[in-house]
Structure 1
Amino acid sequence: MIGMDTIGLKLAQKLVTAALDKAATDYGRPICVSVCDAFGFALSFARNDDAPVRSIAISQGKAYSSARIGVNTDVWLGRLGQANFQANYFCDPQLTALPGGAVVTSANGKVLGAVGISGLAPHEDQAIANAIAELATENSTQ
């Protein structure tokens, strides 16, 4: 469930399960998935057996970055490139622009949290993250 200002634990856990299922169904490969609240703080995490260990921190960074910046990480990467900026210019070592982070918003566009996926190719990570963020938004209106 989504509270007034952020994703709740129950919904975060459902989103993690949905992401693991989607990765298995669509790609047949292991991932790490992180879901955070509107402030970027972790709510739920899972790592498939055999998912790369490096993907733990990467998935967490992608979720954090989407929540803090307020856009999906692939979008932010594009904006950084257009401005000839780097993520480290923002003085926050947890930020990453690697594709695979998706922001969860309310119906009126308020940031409620984010999901981060790592373990696949960046465009595959982003595809899963986008689908799971959309699922979260659908759940917020029910």
Structure 2
Amino acid sequence: MIGSISLTQAQSMITDSIHWAQENNQHIAVAVVDSVGELIAFSRMDETSPQTCLLAQNKAYTAARDRQKTSQLAAWAKETSKTINFWTDPRITGMAGGVPVKNKAGKVVGAMGISGMAEFDDEALAQNIIAQF
């Protein structure tokens, strides 16, 4: 990945995530966004709870917009006693599972959000999938 995440790359990231979830008897929703949080690709597995769809997309959106993992944003908010309303954006979330995608130069070119498991399991899977790309 050099300048941005292509549709092909986004779909591969989603396919790999879902394949892992199937092998591990999990049900997830996965979103991949560009560098400003606009959706490139999204998928949810059968039997995935409805709220995971919105959460996966918002996790990816937040990680792209804030240029950090959503869990880091949550930790900062807790340390500074800020609420998520501080960002005045209803899509911003502090739930773990959103991870930015960076190119070799360290520039954020997009993000991935996963929802459906425990928050930090969502985050770990996103980090593992991103590391493959």
Aligned-partner Cα distance in 1 for 2:85–2:126: 23
On the 8 A contact 1:73/1:102 being kept in 2, the answer is yes
Aligned-partner Cα distance in 1 for 2:94–2:69: 9
**Counterpart in the other structure of 1:57:** 54
RMSD value over aligned CA atoms? 1.1
On the 8 A contact 2:67/2:100 being kept in 1, the answer is yes
On the 8 A contact 2:101/2:112 being kept in 1, the answer is yes
Identical-pair percentage: 32
Q: State the shift of 1:3 in Å.
A: 4.8
Deviates most, 53-62 or 121-130: 121-130
**Counterpart in the other structure of 1:74:** 71
TM-score by length of 2: 0.95
Gaps of 5+ in 1: 137-142
Does 1:99 pair with 2:96? Answer: yes
Aligned-partner Cα distance in 2 for 1:134–1:88: 31
Number of residue pairs the alignment of both structures matches: 133
Deviations 1:56-100 (A, max 9, x none): 000000000000000011111111111111221111111101000
Gaps of 5+ in 2: none
Aligned-partner Cα distance in 2 for 1:72–1:133: 12
**Counterpart in the other structure of 2:11:** 13
Aligned-partner Cα distance in 1 for 2:36–2:52: 21
Q: Which amino acid aligns with 2:120?
A: H
Q: Which amino acid aligns with 2:79?
A: Q
Moved over 4 A (4+): none
Deviations 1:114-133 (A, max 9, x none): 00000111111111111122
The correspondence for 1:84, drawn from 66, 81, 105, is: 81
Q: Which amino acid aligns with 2:21?
A: A
